[in-house]
A and B are shown apart, each in its own frame.
Chain A
């Protein structure tokens, strides 16, 4: 036992012989600086990873299911606003899900109102927050195609969408990876042109999916593409492509990361100009 303790202390004693404690103490300001500077990231890490793992173990449900349970009990069916509010509350106070969030959601709402698109494609429904948000802002007769890769998430998203009172005519949920669905959009769903595309799935898929959309001619002049999480976690390749290709008129709406205060994030707004 004592040997074990000695072994445990060995590195420390070695350390103290190597470097005096005063020098180690001099590093305290650095540590403090790092902690203070990146506190939001630590908080985010805690809420999005540690709490999730803990709750997963405790409840045996997935995070999305827990969110759905909360929403189901705390919102008015058929009222998209109350569902969104319930989501926002749960995500900001209980656990963390990377929805688009209320602040960036407002930007999205505004863009949708300005554009009033008739055919909308959403990549990455996750648990239906953004789908409800978009469907809420659509004009009459518009149709939203929502693509979700994960089966479980898609089931919950379906429930949420129906709970919000949107039927099959307004929102169509497609459960498949986006890179499989996009090539078939024209043939299977009779889509000629997308007026509005919202991207919020895997950040690495932003660029390939955008290129697929271009390739299959689904974008017309004036089609708007909105991509979330441009700065955090960020999609550098996507941005680089945008800078280079010149097909789009684009800008980044700077905002904060959803349900968090100190982490900067942005939404990219692209308008397809076509080849000049």
Chain B
């Protein structure tokens, strides 16, 4: 009989099944590997399947006369199987979602088997075989069904869909591959052959169901993260559901829609890949990103944070440079009057001889002084060039704009960082923080990892000690005393360095009065030298002193930064005060010169007038014209010199302190009496705080001096560029990772805050000079004006329509300005108070969350206790009712079998099946029951009828999860 033929093959199929499964697995594997080219990867599979189909169709052809019966058989078989599935699903509806996936796999296996059987059935002649073979099928089925043990409704649905889906897929595959391999009649036949199956498969209901299943899977993938499963299971489920979605998504469309869909899928995948590549490309485009990452992996994020800061600074300076270069220097150089045309653009006769000497140029005198690099070169001509470029206005606005831009950027970055830092850490979970957050995941170097490991262990030890100490609380006085002492020492040091600078500045003024030519280079550059040296050595001293205080390194770093900040600030302000003195001196000199010049001019004209009144005025070479001491240029020069000497000291320190030391240590170690590497000189560590502050103060000087020396941003850009490469190299080649590697995530905003303070402090003197001191009479773009900002008024008056200047004058009326400022203050106050209230609300919410958490914990504990008790009760009752159930067994079994089995296998099935499904379970119930249930408590919302179970025990069993779910 046909059914028998079908069954005979089972023996083989079982073996083949495994193989097929393997193949399937391989395919999956392949697909995972080639995620990018998934589309292409699919094609071979399709072909393979197609070939398989072809083979089967051939065989079918061979036994065409039997085809009718085979289809019949197939139908019947499917029906039977579907029923069995229905049963089983109705059966053990409580197995949890974990089975869901397994079901699917078994399902697919079964389907494959189905296919295989069909194939094989063709080959083997459709004669009836021994009945015993039937028996072989049944166990297989039973096994499958046992495996299935499916769960909830979702599961059921899927299962119901299972077979159809499979077929669907096959069909899809066939149809899609048809155009590719459409030559032979066999194909057509195959289509015909399958056509018998197709119509029912294509029904919209099924499609709908399929769609639903796919959607469900998608949902599952999305919600997977929150599911309370073990990670392994999650991974398996995720993979399988992804595969499922991938497989069937394409089948959803019809005809053109499907192609379009496939195209869409392909495009989305390509788009994703492109996006990923683009991200990579963007990363590659970020300047020095790879370098910084490498450093980060070697030295931890604190060192890397310096380099990131350096890069950020570079970006800002780029824009400052663009502004000054594009709007001030280039226009003046291209469109302004050429060199030598007027006195301010010419080297005076007295300096002409040595104007090209390197020493002079190095000091930014000579030709360098009389060039676009400095304030004095610019002419006060209102508009230059053929398109009337307003040079003085541009100069002024660029000066203001650079500062304004810097303020904006710094404040914006600070705000962004503040957002990133979030609510901040609280000290309530000190050890948890240490436990879960202390590792720096960016470390990629074993040595640094070792250091980090050691530092974490020591930090744990220290934290434990601290915890103990805080209870003892006896050593606190000593610590306090030491901290006060350290601060006292630091203050002494600061005072000493301040006095030294003051002394040097006074001396230099004396030298200046004497005339600089009489003194050596050392004496002339004394101020810069002393400032650089102090700035270099004092931080080292602070560092040594701060060892007394015994702070956490992060805190210590901030103290260190604060101290160095104070030092640098003191130095800078001493320098500025000295400059102010120099300015006053120059202005006195200027008055004299001005008077002299008028006298000189008068004498000149008088002389010419007396000789010949009609003769044209004598032309004097601009180099010979007497001129005032341009204090603005002097200030600019001082700043440029300071920057240069600062840069030089930095680089030389780097080379000597780091590189030379490293070389000595490395190569003298072979022939030295102690271990140089581990002992005395050792290699140097990267000094984050000093470098950051150096950078910040450097920037402050740029902001201060950029108004008087437009070349400063360019110089700074050069310096930053060089120091980026030099320091990257130096760090990688001659520094060792810090002994206490710590994360610097919190310190970035600290840098920014310092930068802001420096910005403010550095704009202060610049604005002061601009506002209070009248510009020199014969140099610079504002010469001849009373104040530098008069240029705005002038522009308003002459370049704008009258009404505009009127409006402006009204707007600048104090009666309008004051209310406006008041409004602004009010707005700031309002914003601040709202932010404060938000913060409070945040804290409150946090507390609430914490409370809730604790409450939940308590509840869970209670529930667990209760559940345990219930469980025990249930166990007892189960034992009691076990006997009762045994009595019911026979009837239940019979009913079940009637439903399930209606063909010739009935007897075999009857014998074999009950043992796993019913007979097995009953006696062991107390043992088997609870175990899986406890694992999967999420899915048993509604207890359903289980044929094998006793009704009474069920509700009790389900109370466990329902309680735990609170």
Q: Which residues of A contact B (CB under 8 A)?
A: 17-20, 22-23, 25-30, 32-33, 36-38, 41, 231-236
**In the complex, which residues of chain B have a beta carbon less than 8 angstroms from the beta carbon of A232?**
674-675, 678-679
Output the nearest chain B residue to A29 by Cβ-Cβ distance. Answer: B537
Can you give 16 A-B contacts (C-beta < 8 A)?
Answer: A18-B522, A19-B522, A20-B504, A20-B526, A22-B507, A22-B526, A27-B537, A28-B496, A29-B497, A36-B544, A37-B544, A232-B675, A234-B675, A234-B679, A235-B675, A236-B677
A213 to chain B, nearest CB (A): 22
Q: Are A23 and B675 in contact (CB under 8 A)?
A: no
A39 to chain B, nearest CB (A): 10
Does B541 lie at the interface of the complex (its beta carbon under 8 Å from any beta carbon of A)?
yes
Secondary structure of the B contact surface, majority rule: helix
Q: Are A33 and B541 in contact (CB under 8 A)?
A: yes
Binds A, one of B109-117, B433-441, B527-535, B631-639: B527-535
Q: Are B503 and A29 in contact (CB under 8 A)?
A: no
Q: Are A236 and B500 in contact (CB under 8 A)?
A: no
Q: Are B679 and A23 in contact (CB under 8 A)?
A: no
Output the nearest chain B residue to A25 by Cβ-Cβ distance. Answer: B500
Known contacts A231-B679, A234-B678: A29-B669 contact under CB 8 Å: no
Q: Are B504 and A22 in contact (CB under 8 A)?
A: yes
**In the complex, which residues of chain A have a beta carbon less than 8 angstroms from the beta carbon of B674?**
232-234
Tell me the bound Cα distance from A20 to B528 in angstroms.
13
Does B624 lie at the interface of the complex (its beta carbon under 8 Å from any beta carbon of A)?
no
Q: Are B544 and A33 in contact (CB under 8 A)?
A: yes
Tell me the bound Cα distance from A145 to B331 in angstroms.
89
**In the complex, which residues of chain B have a beta carbon less than 8 angstroms from the beta carbon of A23?**
522, 526, 529-530, 533
Tell me the bound Cα distance from A28 to B533 in angstroms.
10
Output the nearest chain B residue to A236 by Cβ-Cβ distance. Answer: B675
Output the nearest chain B residue to A233 by Cβ-Cβ distance. Answer: B674
**In the complex, which residues of chain A have a beta carbon less than 8 angstroms from the beta carbon of B496?**
28
Known contacts A26-B534, A26-B537, A27-B533: A17-B520 contact under CB 8 Å: yes
Does B576 lie at the interface of the complex (its beta carbon under 8 Å from any beta carbon of A)?
no
Does B673 lie at the interface of the complex (its beta carbon under 8 Å from any beta carbon of A)?
yes
**In the complex, which residues of chain A have a beta carbon less than 8 angstroms from the beta carbon of B675?**
231-236
Known contacts A29-B493, A32-B541: A41-B680 contact under CB 8 Å: yes
A17 to chain B, nearest CB (A): 7
Does B538 lie at the interface of the complex (its beta carbon under 8 Å from any beta carbon of A)?
yes
Tell me the bound Cα distance from A29 to B690 in angstroms.
15
Centre residue among B496, B538, B544 by max chain A CB count within 10 A: B544
A144 to chain B, nearest CB (A): 29
Contacts A20-B504, A22-B530 known; 6 new A-B pairs at CB < 8 A = A23-B522, A26-B530, A26-B533, A29-B537, A33-B541, A236-B678
Q: Are B533 and A233 in contact (CB under 8 A)?
A: no
Tell me the bound Cα distance from A164 to B770 in angstroms.
86
Closest 9 interchain pairs by CB? A234-B675, A233-B674, A26-B533, A29-B537, A30-B537, A33-B540, A29-B541, A22-B504, A36-B544
A182 to chain B, nearest CB (A): 24
Does B523 lie at the interface of the complex (its beta carbon under 8 Å from any beta carbon of A)?
yes
Tell me the bound Cα distance from A29 to B679 in angstroms.
23
Chain B interface: which size bin?
20 to 34
Tell me the bound Cα distance from A236 to B665 in angstroms.
12
B486 to chain A, nearest CB (A): 12
Q: B442-483 CB contact bits vs A (8 Å, 1 = yes)?
A: 000000000000000000000000000000000000000000
Tell me the bound Cα distance from A236 to B493 in angstroms.
38
Q: Are A233 and B673 in contact (CB under 8 A)?
A: yes
Tell me the bound Cα distance from A263 to B543 in angstroms.
18
Q: Are B529 and A26 in contact (CB under 8 A)?
A: yes
Q: Which residues of B contact A (CB under 8 A)?
A: 493, 496-497, 500, 503-504, 507, 520, 522-523, 526, 529-530, 533-534, 537-538, 540-541, 543-545, 669, 673-675, 677-680
Tell me the bound Cα distance from A27 to B537 in angstroms.
7
**In the complex, which residues of chain A have a beta carbon less than 8 angstroms from the beta carbon of B533?**
23, 26-27
Output the nearest chain B residue to A37 by Cβ-Cβ distance. Answer: B544
Output the nearest chain A residue to B544 by Cβ-Cβ distance. Answer: A36
Tell me the bound Cα distance from A78 to B533 in angstroms.
61
Output the nearest chain A residue to B678 by Cβ-Cβ distance. Answer: A231
Q: Are A38 and B680 in contact (CB under 8 A)?
A: yes
**In the complex, which residues of chain B have a beta carbon less than 8 angstroms from the beta carbon of A38?**
680
Known contacts A29-B537, A29-B540, A30-B537: A233-B530 contact under CB 8 Å: no
**In the complex, which residues of chain B have a beta carbon less than 8 angstroms from the beta carbon of A236?**
669, 675, 677-678
**In the complex, which residues of chain B have a beta carbon less than 8 angstroms from the beta carbon of A37?**
544
Centre residue among A23, A26, A37, A232 by max chain B CB count within 10 A: A26
A137 to chain B, nearest CB (A): 27
**In the complex, which residues of chain B have a beta carbon less than 8 angstroms from the beta carbon of A17?**
520
Centre residue among A18, A22, A37, A41 by max chain B CB count within 10 A: A22
Tell me the bound Cα distance from A231 to B679 in angstroms.
6
Centre residue among A25, A27, A41 by max chain B CB count within 10 A: A25
Tell me the bound Cα distance from A235 to B526 in angstroms.
45
**In the complex, which residues of chain A have a beta carbon less than 8 angstroms from the beta carbon of B678?**
231-232, 234, 236
**In the complex, which residues of chain A have a beta carbon less than 8 angstroms from the beta carbon of B504?**
20, 22
**In the complex, which residues of chain B have a beta carbon less than 8 angstroms from the beta carbon of A27?**
533, 537
A20 to chain B, nearest CB (A): 5
Tell me the bound Cα distance from A234 to B680 in angstroms.
11
B631 to chain A, nearest CB (A): 25
Q: Are A20 and B522 in contact (CB under 8 A)?
A: yes
**In the complex, which residues of chain B have a beta carbon less than 8 angstroms from the beta carbon of A33?**
537, 540-541, 543-544
A243 to chain B, nearest CB (A): 12
Output the nearest chain A residue to B681 by Cβ-Cβ distance. Answer: A38
Tell me the bound Cα distance from A41 to B544 in angstroms.
15
Q: Are B530 and A29 in contact (CB under 8 A)?
A: no
Q: Are B540 and A30 in contact (CB under 8 A)?
A: yes
Output the nearest chain A residue to B527 by Cβ-Cβ distance. Answer: A22
**In the complex, which residues of chain A have a beta carbon less than 8 angstroms from the beta carbon of B522?**
18-20, 23
**In the complex, which residues of chain B have a beta carbon less than 8 angstroms from the beta carbon of A20?**
504, 507, 522-523, 526
**In the complex, which residues of chain B have a beta carbon less than 8 angstroms from the beta carbon of A41?**
680
B547 to chain A, nearest CB (A): 8
Tell me the bound Cα distance from A112 to B500 in angstroms.
59
Known contacts A231-B679, A236-B669: A26-B500 contact under CB 8 Å: yes
B495 to chain A, nearest CB (A): 13
Tell me the bound Cα distance from A17 to B507 in angstroms.
15
Centre residue among B522, B541, B545 by max chain A CB count within 10 A: B541
Tell me the bound Cα distance from A26 to B523 in angstroms.
14
Centre residue among A17, A29, A33, A235 by max chain B CB count within 10 A: A29
Centre residue among B500, B533, B543 by max chain A CB count within 10 A: B533
Centre residue among B493, B541, B675 by max chain A CB count within 10 A: B675
Output the nearest chain A residue to B680 by Cβ-Cβ distance. Answer: A41
**In the complex, which residues of chain A have a beta carbon less than 8 angstroms from the beta carbon of B677?**
234, 236
A148 to chain B, nearest CB (A): 21
Tell me the bound Cα distance from A32 to B533 in angstroms.
14
Tell me the bound Cα distance from A234 to B500 in angstroms.
42
Tell me the bound Cα distance from A28 to B500 in angstroms.
11
Tell me the bound Cα distance from A124 to B782 in angstroms.
83
Tell me the bound Cα distance from A167 to B800 in angstroms.
111
Output the nearest chain B residue to A38 by Cβ-Cβ distance. Answer: B680
**In the complex, which residues of chain A have a beta carbon less than 8 angstroms from the beta carbon of B534?**
26, 29
Tell me the bound Cα distance from A25 to B530 in angstroms.
9
**In the complex, which residues of chain B have a beta carbon less than 8 angstroms from the beta carbon of A36?**
541, 544-545
B633 to chain A, nearest CB (A): 26
**In the complex, which residues of chain B have a beta carbon less than 8 angstroms from the beta carbon of A234?**
674-675, 677-679
A81 to chain B, nearest CB (A): 30
Tell me the bound Cα distance from A236 to B533 in angstroms.
35
B644 to chain A, nearest CB (A): 17
**In the complex, which residues of chain B have a beta carbon less than 8 angstroms from the beta carbon of A29?**
493, 497, 534, 537-538, 540-541
Output the nearest chain A residue to B545 by Cβ-Cβ distance. Answer: A36
**In the complex, which residues of chain B have a beta carbon less than 8 angstroms from the beta carbon of A26?**
500, 529-530, 533-534, 537
Tell me the bound Cα distance from A38 to B520 in angstroms.
36
Tell me the bound Cα distance from A26 to B673 in angstroms.
32
Tell me the bound Cα distance from A26 to B537 in angstroms.
8
Tell me the bound Cα distance from A63 to B17 in angstroms.
88
B566 to chain A, nearest CB (A): 15
